[in-house]
Copies of this chain bind each other. A is one copy, B any other.
Amino acid sequence: MKNSLILCALLTLGPVCYAQQSDYKVTTDYTELTDTKPHDSEAVWNKITTPTQLSWASTDVRYPKLSIPTVTKNSRWQTKAWKGERVNAQAVLWTTNDLSDATITVSELKNGSSVIPASAVTTNFVRYVMTDELNKERNGGCGHRENKAEWDSSIVADVLDIVKMHDIKARTTQPIWMNVWVPSDARPGKYKGTLTVSGKNFQPMNLQVEIDVLNRTLPEPQDWKFHLDLWQNPYSVARFYNVPLWSKEHFDAMLPIMKMLANAGQRAITTSIMHKPWAGQTEDHFDSMVFRMKKIDGTWEYDYTVFDKWVEFMMNEVGIKDLISCYTMIPWALSFDYYDQATNRIQFIEAKPGDAAYADYWGSFLKDFSRHLRAKGWFEKTAISMDERPLEAMQEAIKVIKQADPEFKITLAGNYHKEIQGDLYYLSIPYGHKFPEDVKAERDRKGQISTVYTCCSEAFPNTFTFSEPAEAPWTILHAVAGGYDGYLRWAVNSWTKDPLRDSRFRTWAAGDTYSIYPGPRSSIRFERLVEGLQDAEKIRILRKELKGGKLEKLNKTVAMFTPEGLAETQKSATEMVNELNKVLNSY
């Protein structure tokens, strides 16, 4: 990669050069991996009398690529929506012939003289990515997966492609995703329009779109109250786009990705204040965004150029500005790097919380960091962030932080510990764990944030590439049902080597490390997650307004989004989410 980078620099080929990765470019078409799973035979396909068909389908289903989709043909899609809401629909096209240069267009949606412009509508060809499966015991997706052959792999529909013209092979199903972002100022009423698939060698096919815009308004994402925290990985972007880290090209590539997060209500900026805060567990490890030099006179010098540039970009360009999470003072490998002026090399201090060397390394940094953050006006928004570590280690780390600046905010994604929860401005605990009611109330009073997280541990609910699409909103609605302030996931774009085609990784079930693809391309998972986030905001608004039986019904429906609710109702995530959706649009 270094060579190609240098080549780029010398030839000044610009984007054409740096956008190249593997055999496809970030923004152009690519060939999916081959699925070896059983599927409808040529004979079965040949029984179809209408060679190419198009129908509305369900956003709850990942339609197999090589089989005839199981759908009741339907050319009219109807939905309700709040003003400012994004609504998703899925259509499927299946064909016995090769189709060339297929494109999707959507007309403006009209309601008398009122219009939802075509620019509010996004359509994507849904693409297929390689996935694997849960652990053999079906109890989660954690652990190493070095040998891909040990896992049952298949391709699944997930990627929402940005390539607008696509060849569709004979005897395949091509799902089409449609998203309509209803303008906040749309006049309530029924809007109608047409989705058209056309191409070189087939007649255009139409589907009807009908959105009943309700007289309710969903606030802008930045005003949502749900505390969403999906960790960003700038290093993945630089690698995949093959651009110099923190260069203009790098930020250009990150902008639309991070905007997707901002539009989902993301609250926190993920920053790294040391080398490999998570021991390099992702394909692209995090480096330190802070430069620390130990000088030969024994003093420390810090430089925040990278940290500042990343934070300023996220705040000013992207609009994510609530929290700066700084990882981490207690990495899994207790080894801390610095640039050593004496040797002109990077050296490592091996020290654990409680050691004098640990307190020296971190204490002196945190004092300087506090000074810098205050000068920047960021101190109140910044938190020193930890992952689950032994309680004693966390207590010692907290001591060092408080000694450096008693006003430093601290966050933890880990188990609930009564001994330190009071020190934690923001505490995210695992799915299935609960905050004691009085503690949660006390935390609310103090303005402390208390959320829930999922990771590889959960067989359900999850957002692996093979997870049911409805598990994404279900997860968010579970956070609401459980009385949490929000939801945390440790990775949103920690891409695999070949992320567009293969979501499998050397650890964890496929898709664990990202739900936004390069391009950026959204995913069924990410769009459905946003639906959950919108629902969470709707619930919040309706709960403030509704009373009596209506409120009771809403609360009862929401309360089912728990393991107990699943057991009690025997409903699937899909059923629950759809049922709640109806309720939320019924007032």
Binding site for B on A (CB under 8 A): 2, 6, 10, 244-247, 275, 287-291, 295-296, 303, 305-306, 309, 339, 341-346, 350, 356-357
Number of copies: 2
* Of A343, A346, A356, most B-chain CB atoms within 10 Å: A343
Closest to A348 in B: B2
State whether A306 touches B345 (Cβ < 8 A). no
State whether A245 touches B295 (Cβ < 8 A). no
CB distance from A243 to the nearest CB of B (A): 10
State whether B342 touches A245 (Cβ < 8 A). yes
Given A339-B339, A350-B2, A357-B6: A344 and B305 within 8 A (CB)? no
For A295, the chain B residues whose CB sits under 8 A away are: 305
State whether A296 touches B342 (Cβ < 8 A). no
State whether A342 touches B10 (Cβ < 8 A). no
Query: A2-B350, A287-B345, A339-B339 given. 6 additional CB < 8 A pairs?
Result: A246-B296, A247-B342, A287-B344, A290-B344, A295-B305, A296-B309
* Distance of A306 Cα from B342 Cα, bound (Å): 7
* Distance of A10 Cα from B356 Cα, bound (Å): 8
A-B contact pairs, 17 of them (CB 8 A): A2-B350, A245-B296, A245-B343, A246-B296, A246-B342, A247-B342, A275-B344, A287-B345, A288-B344, A291-B344, A296-B305, A296-B309, A303-B341, A305-B341, A306-B341, A339-B344, A346-B346
State whether A244 touches B306 (Cβ < 8 A). no
* Of A287, A342, A357, most B-chain CB atoms within 10 Å: A342
Closest to A346 in B: B346
* Distance of A305 Cα from B294 Cα, bound (Å): 12
Closest to A351 in B: B6
* Distance of A395 Cα from B192 Cα, bound (Å): 75
Given A356-B10, A357-B6: A341 and B291 within 8 A (CB)? yes
For A357, the chain B residues whose CB sits under 8 A away are: 6
For A6, the chain B residues whose CB sits under 8 A away are: 357
CB distance from A25 to the nearest CB of B (A): 23
State whether B288 touches A342 (Cβ < 8 A). no
* Of A275, A343, A344, A356, most B-chain CB atoms within 10 Å: A344
For A296, the chain B residues whose CB sits under 8 A away are: 244-247, 305-306, 309
State whether A343 touches B287 (Cβ < 8 A). yes
* Distance of A163 Cα from B341 Cα, bound (Å): 35
CB distance from A385 to the nearest CB of B (A): 18
* Distance of A345 Cα from B341 Cα, bound (Å): 14
* Distance of A290 Cα from B342 Cα, bound (Å): 10
For A10, the chain B residues whose CB sits under 8 A away are: 356
* Distance of A289 Cα from B288 Cα, bound (Å): 24
* Distance of A343 Cα from B6 Cα, bound (Å): 17
* Distance of A343 Cα from B296 Cα, bound (Å): 23
* Distance of A350 Cα from B5 Cα, bound (Å): 12
Closest to A295 in B: B305
* Distance of A356 Cα from B350 Cα, bound (Å): 40
* Distance of A344 Cα from B285 Cα, bound (Å): 12
Closest to A289 in B: B344
CB distance from A127 to the nearest CB of B (A): 31
For A288, the chain B residues whose CB sits under 8 A away are: 344
For A341, the chain B residues whose CB sits under 8 A away are: 246, 291, 303, 305-306
* Distance of A470 Cα from B246 Cα, bound (Å): 62
* Distance of A409 Cα from B431 Cα, bound (Å): 68
CB distance from A269 to the nearest CB of B (A): 17
* Distance of A453 Cα from B357 Cα, bound (Å): 47
CB distance from A585 to the nearest CB of B (A): 48
Q: Which of B344, B346, B356 contacts A345 (CB 8 A)?
A: B346
For A287, the chain B residues whose CB sits under 8 A away are: 343-345
For A305, the chain B residues whose CB sits under 8 A away are: 295-296, 341
For A344, the chain B residues whose CB sits under 8 A away are: 275, 287-291, 306, 339
